[in-house]
């Protein structure tokens, strides 16, 4: 018994249709998978206690500057001596610069170190200006070490002298806050404690300045 060329052609076409259907079904299954969830974290550091005496004058907290390597919302983890990894699925809710700036304003207001802290959009000329740079802000996940949140911040407190600003105080604070599980959530809580510690140290140092 022999098969006609037409029958062979039909069988080949049918096989191609079946394979195409299976391929499209596989693509559809892959496309229907839910996208990975992106988790967001907010730092809510503890605020310093009010100072015994407030300095006369208005303080303006300028927007913090964060070193470019750590300025993004994605969490950054150090994995080697010169290597870092970016966690795209665990992020701060807002940029670190905005989060640190708001934390500083809240801390300076709570510490009552100055007569008042001006809002960001205020056009009032301040008597004092606080400038901040976060030099590093990451999690240390290197092998052979306990995981830790690493934060280093530099501050300049300036006083308006009509023609220029005089430096009243300059400080650099570094914190290494250890934590247990190597998770993004544990890192975020440790970073929150690191920010709290630096805010407390800054407030304490400003409080010791002689009154004008």
Could you read off the pLDDT of 83-108 as tens digits, one per residue?
Answer: 999 999 999 999 999 999 999 999 99
**Mean pLDDT for the stretch of residues 143-167:** 94
| pLDDT tens-digit series, residues 29-71 | 445 567 789 999 999 999 999 999 999 999 999 999 999 999 9
Q: What is the pLDDT of residue 7?
A: 57
C-alpha to C-alpha distances, 209 to 30, 64, 99, 130, 168, nearest whole angstrom: 63, 22, 27, 14, 8
Higher pLDDT, 56 or 6: 56
Q: Which of 19-33, 52-66, 113-127, 138-152 has the lowest mean pLDDT?
A: 19-33
Q: What is the pLDDT of residue 209?
A: 95
Check whether 210 has a pLDDT greater than 50.
yes
Q: What is the pLDDT of residue 21?
A: 54
Check whether 12 has a pLDDT greater than 90.
no
Q: What is the pLDDT of residue 212?
A: 80
Q: What is the pLDDT of residue 17?
A: 53
């Amino acid at each position: 018994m022999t098969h006609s060329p037409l029958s062979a052609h039909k069988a080949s076409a049918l096989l191609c249709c079946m394979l195409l259907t299976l391929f499209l079904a596989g693509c559809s299954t892959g496309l229907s998978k839910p996208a990975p969830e992106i988790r967001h974290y907010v730092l809510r550091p503890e605020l310093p206690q009010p100072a015994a005496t407030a300095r006369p004058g208005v303080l303006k907290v300028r927007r913090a500057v964060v070193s470019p390597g750590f300025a993004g919302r994605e969490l950054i983890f150090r994995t080697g001596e010169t290597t870092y990894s970016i966690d795209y699925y665990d992020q701060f809710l807002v940029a670190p610069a905005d989060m640190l700036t708001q934390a500083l304003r809240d801390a300076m207001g709570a510490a009552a170190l100055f007569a008042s802290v001006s809002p960001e959009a205020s056009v009032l000329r301040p008597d004092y200006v606080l400038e901040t740079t976060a030099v590093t802000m990451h999690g240390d996940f290197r092998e052979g070490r306990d995981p830790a949140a690493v934060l280093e911040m530099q501050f300049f407190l300036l006083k308006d002298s009509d023609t220029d600003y005089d430096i009243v105080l300059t400080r650099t604070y570094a914190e290494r806050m250890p934590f247990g599980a190597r998770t993004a959530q544990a890192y975020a809580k440790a970073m929150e404690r690191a920010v709290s510690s630096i805010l407390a140290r800054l407030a304490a140092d400003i409080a010791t300045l002689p009154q004008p």
